[in-house]
Amino acid sequence: MTDGRDGRKATVDPKLLELLACPLTKGPLTWDPERSELISRVAKLAYPVRDGIPIMLPSEARTISADDMLPPQPRLGGPS
């Protein structure tokens, strides 16, 4: 997912990530660089980051499933 007009992927400053909290649960957020989202595992919400700005509105967040919260499984080599 791209971050905006220049086509680059979004990033979040680690210090900013330490300061941000889920507006509903006040819990920690994790960064998903593949989707450019901040994830609240407790609230099961993903907040978008647009043009480098976290959109911390529950109305803008998407609901995530348990599968979305699992880390990607490593792929094993060889035929299946």
pLDDT in tens, 30-43: 999 999 999 999 99
Q: Is the entire prediction scored with pTM above 0.85? A: no
Pairing of strands 62-63, 53-54: unpaired
DSSP summary character for residue 43: T
Taking residues 59-77, what's their average pLDDT?
Answer: 72
Nearest to 41 by CA among 55, 27, 54, 53: 27
